[in-house]
Amino acid sequence: MFLRQLRWACQPLRRYSTVISSDFASAIAELNKEMEVVFGEPPPVNQAGSSNAILSMSHETTFAPHENAEAKQGLTHISSSGEAQMVDVSSKEITKRVAVAGCKVILGEKAHDLVSANQIAKGDVLSVAKIAGISGAKQTSSLIPLCHNINLSHVRVDLKLNEKDFSVDIEGEAASTGKTGVEMEAMTAVAIAGLTVYDMCKAASKDITITDVQLKYKAGGKSGEWSRKK
Protein backbone atom coordinates (compact mmCIF):
# COMPACT_ATOMS: atom_id res chain seq x y z
CA MET A 1 0.00 0.00 0.00
CA PHE A 2 2.73 2.41 0.90
CA LEU A 3 4.67 1.68 -2.32
CA ARG A 4 1.55 2.25 -4.42
CA GLN A 5 1.00 5.68 -2.83
CA LEU A 6 4.66 6.61 -3.38
CA ARG A 7 4.39 5.63 -7.06
CA TRP A 8 1.40 7.90 -7.64
CA ALA A 9 3.09 10.75 -5.76
CA CYS A 10 6.20 10.61 -7.95
CA GLN A 11 4.28 10.79 -11.25
CA PRO A 12 3.65 14.61 -11.08
CA LEU A 13 7.35 15.17 -10.29
CA ARG A 14 8.37 13.18 -13.36
CA ARG A 15 5.99 15.17 -15.55
CA TYR A 16 7.35 18.44 -14.08
CA SER A 17 10.97 17.35 -14.63
CA THR A 18 10.16 16.43 -18.26
CA VAL A 19 8.65 19.86 -18.85
CA ILE A 20 11.73 21.62 -17.38
CA SER A 21 14.14 19.52 -19.46
CA SER A 22 12.12 20.23 -22.60
CA ASP A 23 12.06 23.97 -21.95
CA PHE A 24 15.80 24.04 -21.19
CA ALA A 25 16.62 22.12 -24.38
CA SER A 26 14.47 24.51 -26.41
CA ALA A 27 16.27 27.53 -24.90
CA ILE A 28 19.67 26.03 -25.74
CA ALA A 29 18.55 25.34 -29.30
CA GLU A 30 17.34 28.93 -29.76
CA LEU A 31 20.62 30.29 -28.36
CA ASN A 32 22.64 28.13 -30.76
CA LYS A 33 20.62 29.43 -33.71
CA GLU A 34 21.29 33.04 -32.69
CA MET A 35 25.03 32.32 -32.33
CA GLU A 36 25.10 30.76 -35.81
CA VAL A 37 23.42 33.85 -37.30
CA VAL A 38 26.03 36.15 -35.74
CA PHE A 39 29.22 34.06 -36.03
CA GLY A 40 28.35 31.50 -38.68
CA GLU A 41 28.32 27.77 -38.35
CA PRO A 42 31.13 26.34 -36.16
CA PRO A 43 33.63 24.02 -37.91
CA PRO A 44 33.32 20.35 -37.04
CA VAL A 45 35.73 19.46 -34.27
CA ASN A 46 36.59 15.91 -33.29
CA GLN A 47 38.86 14.76 -30.50
CA ALA A 48 41.87 14.24 -32.77
CA GLY A 49 41.41 17.67 -34.36
CA SER A 50 41.21 19.28 -30.95
CA SER A 51 44.44 17.59 -29.87
CA ASN A 52 46.22 18.69 -33.04
CA ALA A 53 45.04 22.26 -32.56
CA ILE A 54 46.36 22.30 -29.01
CA LEU A 55 49.73 20.91 -30.15
CA SER A 56 49.88 23.49 -32.94
CA MET A 57 49.22 26.30 -30.50
CA SER A 58 51.94 25.01 -28.17
CA HIS A 59 54.44 25.02 -31.04
CA GLU A 60 53.44 28.49 -32.16
CA THR A 61 53.89 29.94 -28.69
CA THR A 62 57.43 28.61 -28.31
CA PHE A 63 59.81 31.56 -27.88
CA ALA A 64 63.37 31.51 -29.21
CA PRO A 65 66.07 32.73 -26.80
CA HIS A 66 67.18 36.32 -27.32
CA GLU A 67 70.59 36.73 -28.91
CA ASN A 68 72.57 39.94 -28.59
CA ALA A 69 75.17 41.26 -31.01
CA GLU A 70 78.08 39.84 -28.99
CA ALA A 71 76.59 36.34 -28.91
CA LYS A 72 76.10 36.38 -32.71
CA GLN A 73 79.62 37.64 -33.35
CA GLY A 74 81.34 35.09 -31.12
CA LEU A 75 85.10 34.60 -30.85
CA THR A 76 86.82 35.35 -34.14
CA HIS A 77 89.81 33.10 -33.44
CA ILE A 78 87.58 30.01 -33.11
CA SER A 79 86.12 28.28 -36.20
CA SER A 80 82.60 26.86 -36.48
CA SER A 81 84.00 23.45 -35.53
CA GLY A 82 85.66 24.85 -32.38
CA GLU A 83 89.23 24.83 -33.68
CA ALA A 84 91.71 27.69 -33.37
CA GLN A 85 92.10 29.76 -36.50
CA MET A 86 93.82 32.88 -37.80
CA VAL A 87 91.30 35.55 -38.81
CA ASP A 88 91.11 36.36 -42.52
CA VAL A 89 91.41 40.17 -42.77
CA SER A 90 91.64 40.38 -46.56
CA SER A 91 88.17 41.94 -46.85
CA LYS A 92 88.80 44.66 -44.25
CA GLU A 93 89.50 48.26 -45.15
CA ILE A 94 92.96 49.76 -44.77
CA THR A 95 92.86 52.42 -42.03
CA LYS A 96 95.25 54.02 -39.60
CA ARG A 97 95.43 51.98 -36.40
CA VAL A 98 96.64 53.28 -33.03
CA ALA A 99 96.68 51.60 -29.61
CA VAL A 100 97.96 52.68 -26.19
CA ALA A 101 98.54 50.24 -23.31
CA GLY A 102 99.73 50.55 -19.73
CA CYS A 103 101.53 48.53 -17.09
CA LYS A 104 102.81 49.00 -13.54
CA VAL A 105 105.81 47.35 -11.87
CA ILE A 106 105.74 47.63 -8.08
CA LEU A 107 109.40 47.57 -6.99
CA GLY A 108 109.30 48.25 -3.30
CA GLU A 109 111.30 50.98 -1.59
CA LYS A 110 114.72 49.29 -1.73
CA ALA A 111 114.67 48.42 -5.42
CA HIS A 112 113.04 51.73 -6.29
CA ASP A 113 115.82 53.70 -4.64
CA LEU A 114 118.49 51.64 -6.44
CA VAL A 115 116.82 52.20 -9.82
CA SER A 116 116.41 55.90 -9.09
CA ALA A 117 120.12 56.19 -8.23
CA ASN A 118 121.08 53.98 -11.21
CA GLN A 119 122.79 51.57 -8.80
CA ILE A 120 121.37 48.31 -10.18
CA ALA A 121 124.22 45.95 -11.01
CA LYS A 122 122.90 45.13 -14.50
CA GLY A 123 122.86 48.76 -15.58
CA ASP A 124 120.34 51.44 -16.56
CA VAL A 125 117.03 49.72 -15.87
CA LEU A 126 114.67 52.20 -17.55
CA SER A 127 116.72 52.55 -20.74
CA VAL A 128 117.16 48.82 -21.21
CA ALA A 129 113.47 48.15 -20.51
CA LYS A 130 112.49 50.81 -23.05
CA ILE A 131 114.49 49.14 -25.83
CA ALA A 132 113.15 45.73 -24.79
CA GLY A 133 109.56 46.99 -25.02
CA ILE A 134 110.07 48.37 -28.53
CA SER A 135 111.71 45.13 -29.66
CA GLY A 136 108.92 43.12 -28.07
CA ALA A 137 106.24 45.03 -29.99
CA LYS A 138 107.94 44.12 -33.27
CA GLN A 139 108.00 40.42 -32.26
CA THR A 140 104.35 40.17 -31.24
CA SER A 141 103.30 37.82 -34.07
CA SER A 142 106.13 35.45 -33.07
CA LEU A 143 105.06 35.44 -29.41
CA ILE A 144 101.26 35.36 -29.89
CA PRO A 145 100.55 32.56 -32.41
CA LEU A 146 97.33 33.88 -34.00
CA CYS A 147 98.42 37.52 -34.33
CA HIS A 148 99.09 38.91 -37.80
CA ASN A 149 102.56 40.04 -38.81
CA ILE A 150 102.05 43.81 -38.90
CA ASN A 151 104.28 46.46 -40.41
CA LEU A 152 104.44 48.93 -37.54
CA SER A 153 104.93 52.57 -38.43
CA HIS A 154 105.61 53.71 -34.86
CA VAL A 155 106.31 52.26 -31.40
CA ARG A 156 106.70 54.31 -28.22
CA VAL A 157 107.55 53.01 -24.74
CA ASP A 158 107.84 55.38 -21.76
CA LEU A 159 108.86 54.41 -18.22
CA LYS A 160 108.50 56.69 -15.22
CA LEU A 161 109.43 56.15 -11.58
CA ASN A 162 106.57 56.71 -9.16
CA GLU A 163 107.72 57.64 -5.65
CA LYS A 164 104.21 57.40 -4.17
CA ASP A 165 104.02 53.63 -4.36
CA PHE A 166 107.68 52.84 -5.26
CA SER A 167 106.78 51.62 -8.73
CA VAL A 168 107.54 52.09 -12.41
CA ASP A 169 104.64 53.27 -14.58
CA ILE A 170 104.96 52.04 -18.15
CA GLU A 171 103.03 53.25 -21.17
CA GLY A 172 103.36 51.87 -24.68
CA GLU A 173 101.93 52.99 -28.01
CA ALA A 174 101.85 51.23 -31.36
CA ALA A 175 100.68 52.55 -34.73
CA SER A 176 100.20 51.12 -38.19
CA THR A 177 98.23 51.62 -41.40
CA GLY A 178 96.62 48.34 -42.29
CA LYS A 179 93.70 45.93 -42.05
CA THR A 180 93.99 44.86 -38.40
CA GLY A 181 94.52 46.54 -35.06
CA VAL A 182 97.71 47.01 -33.05
CA GLU A 183 96.32 46.45 -29.54
CA MET A 184 98.39 43.33 -29.00
CA GLU A 185 101.56 45.11 -30.11
CA ALA A 186 100.99 47.90 -27.57
CA MET A 187 100.26 45.44 -24.74
CA THR A 188 103.22 43.24 -25.67
CA ALA A 189 105.47 46.31 -25.56
CA VAL A 190 104.53 47.19 -21.96
CA ALA A 191 104.53 43.55 -20.83
CA ILE A 192 108.06 42.92 -22.15
CA ALA A 193 109.25 46.22 -20.67
CA GLY A 194 107.80 45.21 -17.30
CA LEU A 195 109.45 41.79 -17.43
CA THR A 196 112.76 43.45 -18.26
CA VAL A 197 112.46 45.71 -15.22
CA TYR A 198 111.82 42.63 -13.09
CA ASP A 199 114.80 40.79 -14.58
CA MET A 200 117.19 43.65 -13.93
CA CYS A 201 115.96 44.25 -10.36
CA LYS A 202 115.27 40.72 -9.11
CA ALA A 203 118.65 40.52 -7.34
CA ALA A 204 117.65 43.49 -5.18
CA SER A 205 114.14 42.24 -4.31
CA LYS A 206 111.96 39.18 -4.79
CA ASP A 207 108.76 41.07 -3.94
CA ILE A 208 108.51 42.88 -7.28
CA THR A 209 105.04 42.66 -8.83
CA ILE A 210 103.99 43.28 -12.44
CA THR A 211 100.37 44.38 -12.59
CA ASP A 212 97.69 46.25 -14.55
CA VAL A 213 98.74 45.23 -18.07
CA GLN A 214 95.80 46.67 -19.98
CA LEU A 215 94.63 48.45 -23.10
CA LYS A 216 94.00 52.13 -22.46
CA TYR A 217 93.03 53.45 -25.89
CA LYS A 218 92.54 52.31 -29.48
CA ALA A 219 91.48 53.95 -32.72
CA GLY A 220 90.83 52.86 -36.29
CA GLY A 221 89.08 49.93 -37.89
CA LYS A 222 85.42 48.96 -37.90
CA SER A 223 84.93 49.43 -34.14
CA GLY A 224 86.37 52.95 -34.27
CA GLU A 225 87.67 54.77 -31.22
CA TRP A 226 87.65 53.35 -27.68
CA SER A 227 89.17 54.44 -24.38
CA ARG A 228 89.17 52.89 -20.91
CA LYS A 229 87.05 54.68 -18.35
CA LYS A 230 89.03 55.88 -15.34
C-alpha dihedral sign at 183, 186, 188, 194: negative
Q: Which one of the listed residues 124, 199, 207, 212 is annotated catalytic?
A: 199
Q: For 28-75, give the DSSP string.
A: HHHHHHHHHHHH-PPPP--HHHHHHHHHHHHHHTPPPPP--HHHHH--
Residues 156, 193: contact at Cβ < 8 Å? no
**Euclidean distance between CA atoms 230 and 227, whole angstroms:** 9
169 is catalytic: no
> How far apart are the C-alpha atoms of 5 and 124, rounded to whole Å?
129
Distance CA 9, CA 3 (A): 10
Q: Which residues are catalytic?
A: 199
